[in-house]
Amino acid sequence: MFIKKRENAIMNLGESFEVKLEITEAEIEEQLRLIHFTKDDLLSLKQMEQLMVGHIPNAVHSFYDSIMENSKIVAIINKTSSRERLEQTLIRHIAEWFSGIIDDEYINKRKKVAKIHVHIGLETKWYLAACQNLQFSLIKNILLKGLPKEKEITYIEAISKIMNYEQQLVVEEYDRYAAEQANEKEESIKRNIKETLGSIVTILEIQSSETTSSVEELIVATKEVNEDVSNGIEVSNRTIATAENGKQTIQTLMINTKEIYDKTTSMSGIIENLNQSSEEILNVVKIVKDIATKTNLLAINSAIEAARAGEYGKGFAVVANEVRKLAEQTRNSVEQIDQLVGVSTGAQKEVVKAIQIVQQLANLGLTESEQTALAFTNISAMIQEVAAESKAVGSEIKGLTIAVESIGDASIHILESAKLLDDTIKKI
């Protein structure tokens, strides 16, 4: 009885069926050609349909047993779908291998299932391992049917070819998905780079513009300060010249004041000598006055004696009278001299007082002139020091101006580089 059933199975498997192999994509045709898949292989698969239908669920279950050994895949499957749903999908998928039809619709369904395997996170190594187990299960089922050796080889080749093509589709989908992920990642990186560099460029442009404006203002300010310093140096130089002129004027005044002081001192000596001469004149006047008084007294006595002599004394009386007149005149002249000398002495005292005041003022003026000259000297020294410092500051400001202009040039270069970078980013 077993032999009879075996013969019937072999006879059924040898039946001829209508098969359809119509592919419009040249690349798909090339893939099938490379694995030598022909209508004969499609016919062999159709002949095995009844032989495999009852075994497909067990093979699919074995396929997912291998996959579910990976905890990560289990977590992904439970999150996105379920094992039961995936098994039902794969059962229908494998059953179509034995339908005898491979066309564009068949190919599109294969690609859809391949995408499912990729999207559930089934890595290539796990997929290939599970396919290996599935292939062994299907081949084992053929071997257990007791088919002729030639038929076994033909069917095993057909199953191996269709599974190889299935694996090509899935691996191709993996490659496409990986390329898409890489492109998306690359685009994401590009976007991040664009956004980051765009922000940097914007910041650079803003900072460069602000820096350029600040530098321009600073350049103007430093030039103004430089002009102020130059004007200050010029004013300092004029002040130094004025101070030197003032110093020379004070020195001339000191010389003149010293000369006045010396002249008044000499005049004071002359007045002192004049005072002594006036005193000597007064002494002489006193003596002459005494002589005139005595002469007048003697003339009076002579006139008395002449009157006593009578006629003989007339001539002597005339002489005595003349002597008396002369004595009176001398006494009057001496009194006038005495008065003049008194007036002269008073005037001399006033002159002496005035000279003393002039000497005091001259001495005070000399002291103040010396102090003023010293002050001019100090002022001149300080102004020269300030002028030297101003020149040094002017040199530093010139250096600063050059540095600021260099910063300005650098800011312009940065702005140009930022614009160039922005143009480059837009081309990415």
pLDDT digits (tens, 9 = 90+) for 31-71: 999 999 999 999 999 999 999 999 999 999 988 888 888 88
Residue 148 pLDDT level (bands cut at 50, 70, 90): very high
Structure tokens given for 168: 């090509």
The answer to the question of residue 56 being in a domain is yes
102 - beta bridge partners?
21
Q: Indicate whether 123 and 217 sit together in one domain.
A: no
Q: Which of 132, 147, 162 is the last residue of a domain?
A: 147
Q: Indicate whether 402 and 259 sit together in one domain.
A: yes
For the ranges 9-23, 70-84, 85-99, 250-264, the lowest mean pLDDT is seen at: 9-23
Q: How far apart are the first and last CA of the chain?
A: 76
User: What's the domain range around 26?
Assistant: 2-147
Q: Indicate whether 220 and 141 sit together in one domain.
A: no
pLDDT digits (tens, 9 = 90+) for 367-391: 887 887 787 788 678 768 877 877 7
List all residues 6 or more positions away from 133 whose beta carbon is below 8 Å from its beta carbon: 62, 63, 65, 66
**pLDDT given at position 136:** 93
Q: Indicate whether 26 and 127 sit together in one domain.
A: yes
Q: Mean pLDDT in the chain?
A: 81
The length of the chain, given as a count of residues? 428
How many angstroms separate the Cα of 219 from the Cα of each of 23, 213, 289, 407?
77, 10, 100, 10
CA atoms within 13 A on the CB side of 166: 23
Q: Indicate whether 124 and 224 sit together in one domain.
A: no
The answer to the question of residue 166 being in a domain is no
Between CA 221 and CA 419 the distance in angstroms is 29
What's the CATH number where 46 sits?
1.10.490.10
What's the CATH number where 255 sits?
1.10.287.950
Nearest to 11 by CA among 159, 143, 145, 140: 145
The answer to the question of residue 216 being in a domain is yes
The answer on pLDDT for 111 being more than 60 is: yes
**pLDDT given at position 3:** 41
The answer on pLDDT for 1 being more than 50 is: no
Q: Indicate whether 309 and 417 sit together in one domain.
A: yes
Q: Indicate whether 219 and 358 sit together in one domain.
A: yes
Q: Indicate whether 229 and 331 sit together in one domain.
A: yes
pLDDT digits (tens, 9 = 90+) for 150-168: 999 999 999 999 999 988 9
Three-state DSSP state, 102:
strand
Q: Which of 109, 125, 147 is the last residue of a domain?
A: 147
**pLDDT given at position 296:** 78
Q: Indicate whether 305 and 414 sit together in one domain.
A: yes
The answer to the question of residue 168 being in a domain is no
Q: Indicate whether 360 and 219 sit together in one domain.
A: yes
Between CA 122 and CA 5 the distance in angstroms is 41
pLDDT digits (tens, 9 = 90+) for 211-225: 777 767 866 877 786
Nearest to 151 by CA among 43, 244, 253, 311: 43
Query: Comparing 205 with 60, which gets the higher pLDDT?
Result: 60
**pLDDT given at position 241:** 81
Query: Comparing 2 with 86, which gets the higher pLDDT?
Result: 86
The answer to the question of residue 250 being in a domain is yes
Report long-range pairs for 71-74 (Cβ below 8 Å, ≥24 apart): 72/121, 73/120, 73/121, 73/122, 73/123, 73/126
Per-residue b/e over 167-204, b at no fewer than 16 CB within 10 Å? bbbbeebbeeeeeeeeeeeeeeeeeeebeebeeebeeb
Q: Indicate whether 322 and 226 sit together in one domain.
A: yes
**pLDDT given at position 175:** 84
Q: Which of 98, 125, 147 is the last residue of a domain?
A: 147
Between CA 253 and CA 220 the distance in angstroms is 48
Query: Comparing 235 with 270, which gets the higher pLDDT?
Result: 270
Query: What is the percent of the chain with per-residue pLDDT over 90, rounded to a whole number?
Result: 21
| Mean predicted confidence (pLDDT) in 391-415 | 77
E-strand spans in 99-183? 101-102
**pLDDT given at position 97:** 93
Per-residue b/e over 250-269, b at no fewer than 16 CB within 10 Å? beebbeebeebbeebeebbe
| Mean predicted confidence (pLDDT) in 8-12 | 48
Between CA 315 and CA 320 the distance in angstroms is 9
Query: What total of structural domains would you count in the chain?
Result: 2
Q: Indicate whether 334 and 217 sit together in one domain.
A: yes
The answer to the question of residue 177 being in a domain is no
**pLDDT given at position 273:** 80
The answer on pLDDT for 254 being more than 90 is: no
